[in-house]
Structure 1
Amino acid sequence: MISLKNQIILITGASSGIGTACARIFAHEGAKLILAARRLERLQQLADTLAKEFNIEIHSLQLDVRDRIAVESAISTLPAAWSNIDILINNAGLSRGLDKLHEGDFQNWEEMIDTNIKGLLYLTRYVVPGMVSRGGGHVVNIGSIAGHQTYPGGNVYCGTKAAVKAISEGLKQDLLGTPVRVTSVDPGMVETEFSDVRFHGDTERANKVYQGVTPLTADDVADVIFFCVTRSPHVNINEVILMPVDQASATLVNRRT
């Protein structure tokens, strides 16, 4: 098992959900964390809490991954002590709405495509060359069951996660011959802010998504990511699909009412 002590780990979307859970599990192992998110206040609170609890070094980045120039600037201006990123967790992502495609909201489409696909591409493009030149590294992309199975109203979101699946596979092929590893972790139902964001803050509607079901937690997903990044250097976990026991497919869910 690889030790994460003093490894530099960049996590996007770190201010909530799976990103925060990853930050905590890696902090426990003594990693050096670069935490990136749009919400600086929440990010700083998390950084202060983890630094105090685990006595680790943390570098915070207020960053919107949709902004390519901002991503380029953030990576190129990292202090020397933080520039050699060992692990990149492309976690920033979101879903907006459940409209039929022919009734879809253009702004929702743009936000999902720009965050889930282009943001992931920008980080990968600016971070991976350093991994290749240093002869080591690991990229973990957070996909979804939605990238494997489309569901009604999921059209564009499912399309973005199918893109993450294809990009992960393509990146692994492009890195053949280097020691850099690529993993896609694709969860089913996870109770985070995901549904709240999808329904634009309609908490009542969001809560119904998980009604009668025991969903995955952010910690469950972070635990799987931790497993993937700590395998022996010659082992690459290409893809992991994980779902709660109450879920058998993107649409088949057992609800106890």
Structure 2
Amino acid sequence: MTTAFITGATSGIGRAIAVALSDAGYDVYAVGRSQAALKELQAERPGIVPIAVDVCDREALESVVADLTIDVLINNAGIMPPLGNFADMKIADIDTALEVNVSAAILLTRLVVPQMRERQSGHILFTGSSAGHAAFPNVAVYSATKAAIAGFAAALRADLSQYGIRVTEIVPGRVETQLYKDILDAEARAAMYAGNVAVQPDDVASMVVTLLGLPAWADVTRFDIMPTRPTSPSGSKQGK
């Protein structure tokens, strides 16, 4: 496999994976909405091909994918809706979370899997979350979207394994990214990541490079990557 198509590649886990795969010799297509961020990424890694497109723009996404051969698809784009009790959520925030985190990933996968099936090879990865597998307060809709991705990935694997296509769900715990930048102030984010206890995007990227390097007959169906040290709700270390 040589070609990787990564959504949400302008920051955080997606950006780290794009850089790591480029360094590993993959031809990387980096997808994101921010042209400025994509230009910065390409300046850092000239071999990366930037694609400025909104994953929710179905026609634009279909047009982009139609001309590409994709060996590795990484559905990483996602958003965190405002934190709070579900009873107080805005309907618009619910709709956006479902569209970006679930519908866009399923649609893109549908656009890509036929070519993989024809070649009898390919690898599809989804960035899920520990919130999709355990209950946390104030993130009901986000948890629902990630649980949906977990279920989709498992069923997709059952559909596609007969064609030699591998499917992996990435399940991160607390990762130090920009996911909360629009819904938490700087002080709250600092508390969340206090003590250098959070997993880093590069840690996730290293795992992705490793599992992609496994022989075709071995599929890591899911990997969980969590901070070694637990944290309190405020983000501080527990214990010494």
TM-score by shorter chain over 0.5: yes
Q: Residue 31 in 1 paired to residue 21 in 2?
A: no
Structure-1 separation of matches of 2:192 and 2:92: 23
The residue correspondences of 1:104-123 to structure 2 (distance < 5 A) are 104-123=89-108
8 Å CA contact retained: 1:144, 1:185: yes
Of 199, 205, 209 in structure 2, the residue corresponding to residue 226 of structure 1 is: 209
2:39 is matched with which residue: 36, 39, 44?
44
Stretches of structure 2 that go unaligned for 5 or more consecutive residues are none
- Indicate the SS of the match to 2:198: coil
Q: Please list the CA deviations of residues 184-243 of structure 1 after superposition, one character each: whole Å capped at 9, or x if unmatched.
A: 0100000010121343xx222222222245100000111111122111100010001110
Taking structure 2 as the reference length, the TM-score comes to: 0.93
Q: 1:235 to 1:251 in 2, by over 3 A?
A: farther
**Residue number in structure 2 paired with 1:100:** 85
Q: Distance in 2 between matches of 1:238 and 1:204?
A: 37
- d(CA) in 2 for partners of 1:212, 1:195: 18
Instruction: Tell whether the 8 Å contact from 2:191 to 2:234 is kept in structure 1 after alignment.
Output: no
Aligned to 1:68: 58
C-alpha change, 1:46 and 1:86, in structure 2 (3 Å) is same
Alpha-carbon distance, 1:60 to partner: 1.7
AA in 1 matched with 2:127: I
Aligned to 1:255: 237
Structure 1 counterpart of 2:165, one-letter code? V
Separation in 2 of the partners of 1:92 and 1:26?
17
Aligned residue in 2 for 1:204: 187
SS of 1:177's equivalent? helix
Distance 1:102 1:179 in 2: 44
Alignment of 1:89-238 (within 5 A): 89-199=74-184, 202-212=185-195, 214-238=197-221
CA RMSD of aligned residues (A): 2.0
The gaps in structure 1 that reach 5 residues or longer are none
Partner SS for 1:60: strand
1:42 Cα deviation after fit:
0.8
Native 8 Å contact 1:146 1:161 kept in 2: yes
Structure 2 CA distance for partners of 1:213 and 1:151, relative to 1, 3 Å: farther
Q: 1:45 to 1:252 in 2, by over 3 A?
A: closer
Paired with 2:171 and 2:177, the residues of 1 have a C-alpha distance of 15
Count of residues in Structure 1 that have an aligned counterpart in Structure 2: 239
Structure 1 residues 48-59: aligned runs within 5 Å = 48-51=43-46, 56=47, 58-59=48-49
Q: Is the 8 A contact 1:12 1:36 kept in 2?
A: yes
CA contact (8 A) 1:94 1:197 kept: no
**After superposition, what is the alpha-carbon deviation per residue over 1:78-125, rounded to whole angstroms, capped at 9, x for unaligned?**
3xxxx2110001110110211111111222212211111011111101
